[in-house]
């Protein structure tokens, strides 16, 4: 970025804004320890894994080569600058400071200056049809094929399973144009429980891409969840567009999760175990926690959190969707009742309706427990067949317990990367595995 030229307001926010642009112009080079003192304690910028230098570097990449056209005071505590980028985009960068000396920076915001009317708001159930149509219009490009997720007439089915979710809905000149969903969850990473925002189901219609809508959608989520410890996004190893979007994020989980697709018709087996009841909560918690102990991203259940999960949307996933034996447990959401997956490759079109394993586990070291898990999965496949579904999806990872046996059941294994901006990737993830809560995927 070219050095700032215009006159900046001779006020606390104006001086901090000029300093901020000077640092961004250097792309994080020569960042000093004292730079941290410019920000209020607890600032999200200070929690970045690579410090303020990393923040400067990422913001420079986001804005690109640019020159400052003008600057002004917005209020006693905020000043803004307008930048013209070499690629034709225009940006507004705002800096807010605390009211008392030393007037440390309390907020930094940047957004595209657009030539059309953009409205971003939280979606409601009444927007479901428009949201589903946007998703149908945005195929995921995977290698030499593409996949469309059709949520039918119940777009919010996935959202009801989540503890705290926001669907950011964007319109351009009054027309539905894009979606970005964010969900808050707790994940244990490196032995520390962190509140992270999961970025999911981002879709922008092709005719409205490269108009700054993604940033506007994301800002709404940032305002909704301002105090998170970090965020996470997932992308298929075959989705090059997603990988380009995360190119500036150093915190990449590789190996990441693997989605195992089990063929229901092939694996369908006899009924095994019994349906769970609320009285089984302690035993289910014991099995799940024993199976996934130590996996990165797994937060151990308590009976309270398990009950909340199974009673949040009982029509979709509750006690009756969970089956257990003496040494294993499997819980399945019959997602295919509302969601259809349409894949196209080499001129062939295939529609699929799937069940999704939301909880599973076996007791490590118990004789026959892994076989009981496999039998429960075969039982689940048979039950899904009866309901017109063809595939059972399950997440695991190369370091997770039972991965080899689960992989042996799968018709297909889909590998993903994960990125956690602001949260370092633990050194032991390849050894202990990465847990993926399928609700938040």
Does residue 333 sit in the same domain as residue 397? yes
Strands 90-97 and 105-112: antiparallel
pLDDT at 31: 77
For 190, left (φ over 0), alpha (ψ -120 to 50), or beta?
Answer: left
CA pair distance 436, 189, nearest whole angstrom = 12
pLDDT at 49: 64
Strands 192-204 and 230-236: parallel
Does residue 289 sit in the same domain as residue 411? yes
Does residue 71 sit in the same domain as residue 168? no
Closest CA to 328 of 286, 295, 357: 286
pLDDT at 82: 94
Compute the mean pLDDT over every residue in the chain, rounded to the nearest whole number.
93
* Range of lowest pLDDT (28-42, 163-177, 270-284): 28-42
CA pair distance 429, 418, nearest whole angstrom = 12
Does residue 69 sit in the same domain as residue 130? no
Supply 120's token pair: 């971003």
Strands 391-396 and 354-362: parallel
Does residue 205 sit in the same domain as residue 292? no
* Range of lowest pLDDT (122-136, 141-155, 179-193, 291-305): 141-155
Give φ, ψ of 230 to 5 degrees: 165, -170
CB 419 within 8 A of CB 233: yes
Does residue 171 sit in the same domain as residue 38? no
Helix (H, G, I), strand (E, B) or coil at 205: coil
CB 116 within 8 A of CB 90: no
CB 339 within 8 A of CB 151: yes
pLDDT band at 1, cuts 50/70/90?
Answer: low
Give burial (CB, 10 Å; 0-12/13-18/19+) of 142.
Answer: middle
**Is the residue at 247 inside a domain?**
no
**Is the residue at 246 inside a domain?**
no
CB 205 within 8 A of CB 139: no
CA pair distance 351, 211, nearest whole angstrom = 32
- For the chain, percent of residues with pLDDT exceeding 70: 98
Overall average pLDDT of the 324-342 stretch: 98
Supply 174's token pair: 């009054």
Cα 390 to chain centroid, rounded: 26
- CATH number of 30's domain: 3.10.450.280
Summarised one tens digit per residue, pLDDT across range 69-87 is 999 999 999 999 999 999 8
Q: How many independent structural domains does the chain possess?
A: 3
Summarised one tens digit per residue, pLDDT across range 390-405 is 999 999 999 999 999 9
Closest CA to 234 of 252, 260, 216: 252
- For the chain, percent of residues with pLDDT exceeding 90: 78
Q: Is the pLDDT of residue 10 over 90?
A: yes
Summarised one tens digit per residue, pLDDT across range 364-391 is 999 999 999 999 999 999 999 999 999 9
Q: Is the pLDDT of residue 357 over 80?
A: yes
Q: Is the pLDDT of residue 141 over 90?
A: no
Give burial (CB, 10 Å; 0-12/13-18/19+) of 352.
Answer: middle
Overall average pLDDT of the 352-356 stretch: 98
Give burial (CB, 10 Å; 0-12/13-18/19+) of 236.
Answer: buried
pLDDT at 247: 75
Summarised one tens digit per residue, pLDDT across range 191-249 is 999 999 999 999 999 999 988 898 899 999 999 998 899 999 999 988 887 788 777 77
CA pair distance 141, 343, nearest whole angstrom = 10
| 175-to-88, 112, 266 alpha-carbon distances in Å | 24, 19, 45
**Is the residue at 390 inside a domain?**
yes
Listed in sequence order, the residues at least 6 apart from 256 whose beta carbon sits closer than 8 Å to its beta carbon are 234, 397, 415, 416, 417, 418, 434
Supply 400's token pair: 């997770």
Does residue 124 sit in the same domain as residue 97? no
Does residue 314 sit in the same domain as residue 380? yes
pLDDT at 151: 96
Supply 87's token pair: 């690629």
CA pair distance 340, 51, nearest whole angstrom = 43
**Is the residue at 21 inside a domain?**
yes
Which of 216, 231, 246 lies at the terminal end of a domain, its last residue?
231
Listed in sequence order, the residues at least 6 apart from 74 whose beta carbon sits closer than 8 Å to its beta carbon are 13, 80, 94
Helix (H, G, I), strand (E, B) or coil at 55: helix
Kindly provide the residue ranges of all beta strands, DSSP E only, lying in 190-229, ordered along the sequence: 192-204
**Is the residue at 297 inside a domain?**
yes
Q: Is the pLDDT of residue 260 over 60?
A: yes
Give burial (CB, 10 Å; 0-12/13-18/19+) of 298.
Answer: buried
Does residue 182 sit in the same domain as residue 292? no
Does residue 155 sit in the same domain as residue 99? no
Does residue 103 sit in the same domain as residue 189? no
pLDDT at 4: 46
**Is the residue at 167 inside a domain?**
yes
Residue 88, domain extent: 12-112
**Is the residue at 389 inside a domain?**
yes
384: β partners: none
User: Across the beta sheet with 66-73, what order do the strands follow?
Assistant: 66-73, 78-85, 90-97, 105-112
Is the model more confident about 423 or about 240?
423
Q: Is the pLDDT of residue 311 over 90?
A: yes
Does residue 212 sit in the same domain as residue 317? no
pLDDT band at 5, cuts 50/70/90?
Answer: low
| 198-to-166, 239, 255 alpha-carbon distances in Å | 10, 18, 18
- CATH number of 325's domain: 3.40.630.30
**Is the residue at 104 inside a domain?**
yes
């Amino acid at each position: 970025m070219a050095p700032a030229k215009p006159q900046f307001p001779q006020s606390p926010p104006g001086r901090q804004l000029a300093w901020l642009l000077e640092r961004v112009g250097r792309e994080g080079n020569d960042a000093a320890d004292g730079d941290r003192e410019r920000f209020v304690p607890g600032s999200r910028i200070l929690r970045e894994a690579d410090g303020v230098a990393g923040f400067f570097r990422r913001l420079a990449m986001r804005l690109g080569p640019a020159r400052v056209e003008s600057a002004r005071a917005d209020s006693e505590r905020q000043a803004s600058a307008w930048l013209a980028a070499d690629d034709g985009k225009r940006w507004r960068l705002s800096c807010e400071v605390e009211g008392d000396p030393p007037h440390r920076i309390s907020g930094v915001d940047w957004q595209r200056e657009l030539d059309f009317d953009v409205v971003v708001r939280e979606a409601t159930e009444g927007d479901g049809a428009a949201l589903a149509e946007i998703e149908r219009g945005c195929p995921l490009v995977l290698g030499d094929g593409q996949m469309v997720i059709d949520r039918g007439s119940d777009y919010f089915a996935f959202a009801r399973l989540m503890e705290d979710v926001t669907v950011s809905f964007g319109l351009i000149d009054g027309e539905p144009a894009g979606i970005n969903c964010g969900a808050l969850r707790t994940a244990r990473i490196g032995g520390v429980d962190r509140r992270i925002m999961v970025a999911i189901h981002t879709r922008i219609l092709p005719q409205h891409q490269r108009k700054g809508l993604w940033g506007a959608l994301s800002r709404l989520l940032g305002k909704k969840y301002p105090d998170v410890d970090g965020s996470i996004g997932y992308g298929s190893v075959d989705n090059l567009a997603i990988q380009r979007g995360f190119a500036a994020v150093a915190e990449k989980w590789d190996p990441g999760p693997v989605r195992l697709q089990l063929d229901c018709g092939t694996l369908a087996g006899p009924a095994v175990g019994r349906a769970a009841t609320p009285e089984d909560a302690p035993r289910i918690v014991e099995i799940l926690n024993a199976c996934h102990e130590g996996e990165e991203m797994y937060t151990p259940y308590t009976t309270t959190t398990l009950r909340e999960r199974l009673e949040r949307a009982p029509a979709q996933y509750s006690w009756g969707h969970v089956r257990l034996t003496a040494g294993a447990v499997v819980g399945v959401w019959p997602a295919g009742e509302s969601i259809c997956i349409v894949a196209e490759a080499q001129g062939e079109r295939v529609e699929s309706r799937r069940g999704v394993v939301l909880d599973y586990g076996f007791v490590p070291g118990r004789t026959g427990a892994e076989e009981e898990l496999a039998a429960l999965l075969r039982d689940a496949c048979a039950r899904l067949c009866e309901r017109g579904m063809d595939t059972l999806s399950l997440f695991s990872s190369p370091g997770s317990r039972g991965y080899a046996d689960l992989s042996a059941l799968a018709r297909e294994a889909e590998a993903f990367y994960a990125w956690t901006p602001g949260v370092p990737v633990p050194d032991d993830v390849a050894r202990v595995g990465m847990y993926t809560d399928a609700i938040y995927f």
